[in-house]
């Protein structure tokens, strides 16, 4: 029985490359068409005067999903990719001068919260235990399987997960659950921030999202040698090794349909035929531009978009001993910040600031000696036509003022090189509608079910992967979307034969 057929992947983002690898392992002839001149999508990099910057995602968790791809392809990962666990997942700075180190060792972290914020050590340990149980009982089903296939329902997976759902998980917000568990507002704020891992608002998103801390505090956070770009490079090389063909500077203009089946794509005016089409493009743009389906794209628009970001890439000609790989400088009024992001859709004048510094792990490689490469990010509203040039100046001033105050050093004279990324550029470079980093937000209790499935219900042979569809945004979930999709393709191909 010969099941060999051709697959076309639209977009060489992380999910697109993972999809290409998985379909190639199935024996398919796979081609990837990418509008940019490089692979990786948001997970790209650049260098200025010896300062190297990862352009997009900066947190690496759940390395097992990378390992799984190499194992599936029967290729030793060590040749292409390596990583190390971080002893401290994040350094937290508060306006009142308190600094909290989130140690990878849960007992050390519990002691830190007790010493710095007055929490009982048992409160953290019980919180993380609940987070772990929630992830394994519920998250594993919702994140690893399609919520839109009868097979998932018939095997009882959804039913088992739903029986594990407690009332507060859906009907209390993440903030309400955290506030009920911890006594100190600073601790609550620390765990509220995990809503931003999928671009959501902790004051609106369901308590179910409190399973996210499990990934960082129970499983661990990691640093990939060479920076985050090494993930892109590893998957690209693995895809090439499995025979995948990449076509860069080749935007797909249209998906060709015949009798409600996807049969190919148009690239540079040429028809290219395939049995299977997989879109790693934002699902909104897939419908609007590639399928010319205005009604479907409007339906997608009804779902609230996730937050975006404003990023400053700064080469800093000084080393700061108090900073680590990941650092958070909190806003004083967190709820007001999220009101601005999602209700007012405006800049907040006291934004929470995140700094990623890969030179902490590879000094002298990621930046010049006695200097640091700062990836400085603030949450921003999705793009609805705001004056981003004005916001750039205002954000820059607010960030410099905040960091200078909390670090006790005037930051501005230390900025040796600078590059800026705003929501408009994010949309144009990565086809993320409105610059939303994670597609739709999770600010409703039904958000998990409202995300677009990994297949088309109306066009056979058309599948979807990436952060704008199930199970969501972020590297691990994008990799999982590729796995879910590839399993569907395998089943559908067997049905044909």
Residue-wise pLDDT tens digits, 464-495: 999 999 898 899 999 999 999 999 999 999 88
Residue 241 and residue 164 share a domain: no
Q: What is the pLDDT of residue 163?
A: 53
Domains contained in the chain, number? 2
pLDDT (0 to 100) of residue 294: 84
Q: Residue 379 domain-assigned? A: no
- Pairing mode, strands 29-33 and 245-247: parallel
Q: pLDDT by residue (tens digit) across 18-27?
A: 999 999 999 9
Are 236 and 193 found together in one domain?
Answer: no
Decide if 406 is inside a domain.
no
- The pLDDT tens digits for 247-282 are 999 999 999 999 999 999 999 999 999 999 999 999
For residue 4, what are the contacts with CB-CB under 8 A and spacing of at least 6?
A: 27, 28, 29
Residue 460 located in a structural domain:
yes
Amino acid 107: pLDDT: 97
Instruction: Say if residue 2's pLDDT is above 50.
Output: no
Domain end: 157, 188, 216, which one? 216
Per residue in 352-374, pLDDT (tens digit) is: 999 999 999 999 999 999 999 99
Q: Is residue 150 part of a domain?
A: yes
Q: What's residue 447's pLDDT?
A: 56
How many DSSP H helices and E strands does the chain contain? 19, 20
Residue 309 CA to residue 421 CA, distance in Å, equals 8
H/E segment holding residue 100: strand 99-103
Residues of the domain holding 292: 6-43+226-303+443-496
Q: In what order do the strands lie in the sheet with 252-257?
A: 252-257, 262-267, 270-273
Q: Residue 444 pLDDT > 60, yes or no?
A: yes
Phi, psi of 223 (to 5 degrees): -125, 120
Chain centre distance of CA 144: 16
> Is the domain of 202 the same as that of 231?
no
Q: Are residues 208 and 242 in the same domain?
A: no
Rg (CA), the chain: 22
Q: What is the CATH number of the domain that holds 478?
A: 3.50.50.60
Extract the runs of DSSP E, i.e. beta strands, from 42-98.
45-48, 51-54, 60-61, 83-85, 88-93
Q: 222: which strand partners?
A: 60, 85
Q: Report whether pLDDT(62) > 90.
A: yes
Report the pLDDT averaged over residues 160-176: 66
Q: Which residues contact 72 (CB under 8 A, 6 or more apart)?
A: 21, 22, 25
- pLDDT category, 1, cuts 50, 70, 90? very low
Element (H, E) at 345: none
271 and 295 within one domain: yes
The CA-atom distances, in angstroms, between 226 and each of 231, 360, 476 are: 9, 12, 19
Q: Per-residue pLDDT tens for 120-137?
A: 999 999 999 999 998 888
Predicted model pTM: 0.93
First-residue to last-residue Cα distance in the chain: 8
Domain boundary (216, 235, 263) is at 216
Q: What is the pLDDT of residue 435?
A: 87
Rounded to an integer, the average pLDDT of 442-452 is: 65
- Residue where a domain terminates, one of 184, 216, 248: 216
Q: Residue 495: what are its φ and ψ, rounded to 5°?
A: -60, -35
CB distance 43 to 13 below 8 Å: yes
Q: Are residues 121 and 198 in the same domain?
A: yes
Beta strands in 242-307 (DSSP E): 245-247, 252-257, 262-267, 270-273, 276-279
Residue 436 within a domain: no
Q: Would the pLDDT of 4 be above 90?
A: no
The answer, yes or no, to whether residue 445 has pLDDT greater than 80, is: no
The CA distance from 29 to 39, in Å, is 19
d(CA 237, CA 80): 8
Residue 448 within any structural domain of the chain: yes
């Amino acid at each position: 029985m010969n099941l060999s057929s051709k697959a076309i992947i639209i977009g060489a983002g992380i999910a697109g490359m993972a999809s290409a690898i998985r379909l190639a392992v199935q024996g398919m002839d796979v081609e990837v068409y990418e509008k940019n001149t490089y692979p990786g999508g948001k997970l790209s990099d650049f260098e200025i005067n010896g300062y190297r910057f990862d352009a997009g995602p900066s947190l690496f968790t759940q390395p097992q999903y990378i390992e799984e791809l190499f194992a599936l392809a029967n290729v030793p990962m060590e040749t292409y990719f390596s990583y190390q666990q971080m002893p401290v997942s994040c350094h937290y700075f508060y306006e009142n001068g308190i600094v909290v180190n989130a140690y990878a060792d849960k007992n050390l972290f519990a002691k830190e919260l007790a010493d710095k914020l007055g929490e009982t050590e048992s409160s953290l340990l019980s919180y993380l235990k609940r987070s772990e149980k929630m992830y394994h009982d519920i998250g594993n089903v919702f994140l690893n399987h399609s919520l839109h296939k009868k097979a998932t329902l018939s095997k009882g997976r959804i039913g088992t997960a739903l029986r594990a759902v407690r009332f507060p998980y859906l009907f209390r917000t993440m903030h309400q659950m955290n506030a009920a568990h911890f006594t100190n507002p600073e601790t609550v704020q620390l765990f509220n921030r995990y809503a931003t891992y999928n671009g959501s608002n902790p004051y609106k998103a369901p308590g179910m999202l409190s399973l996210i801390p499990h990934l960082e505090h129970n499983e661990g956070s990691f640093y990939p040698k060479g920076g985050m770009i090494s993930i892109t490079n590893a998957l690209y090389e693995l895809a090439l090794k499995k025979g995948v063909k990449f076509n860069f500077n080749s935007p797909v203009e249209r998906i060709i349909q015949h009798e409600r089946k996807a049969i190919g794509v148009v690239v540079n005016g040429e028809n290219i035929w395939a049995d299977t089409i997989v879109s790693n493009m934002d699902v909104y743009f897939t419908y609007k531009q590639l399928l010319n389906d205005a009604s479907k794209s409007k339906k997608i628009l009804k779902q609230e978009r996730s937050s975006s970001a404003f990023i400053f890439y700064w080469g800093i000609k000084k080393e700061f001993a108090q900073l680590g790989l990941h650092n958070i400088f909190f806003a004083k009024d967190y709820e007001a910040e999220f009101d601005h992001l999602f209700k007012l859709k405006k800049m907040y004048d006291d934004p929470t600031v995140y700094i990623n510094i890969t030179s902490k792990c590879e000094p002298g490689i990621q930046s010049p000696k006695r200097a640091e490469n700062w990836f400085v990010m603030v949450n921003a509203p999705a793009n609805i036509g705001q004056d981003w040039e004005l916001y750039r100046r205002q954000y820059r001033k607010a960030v410099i003022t905040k960091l200078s105050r909390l670090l006790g050093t005037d930051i501005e004279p230390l900025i040796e090189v600078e590059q800026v990324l705003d929501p408009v550029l994010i949309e144009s470079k990565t086809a993320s509608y409105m610059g939303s980093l994670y597609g739709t937000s999770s600010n409703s209790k039904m958000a998990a079910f409202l995300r677009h499935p990994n297949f088309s219900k109306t066009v056979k042979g058309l599948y979807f992967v990436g952060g704008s569809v199930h199970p969501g945004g972020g590297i691990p979930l994008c990799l999982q979307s590729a796995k879910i999709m590839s399993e569907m393709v395998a089943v559908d191909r067997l049905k044909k034969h």
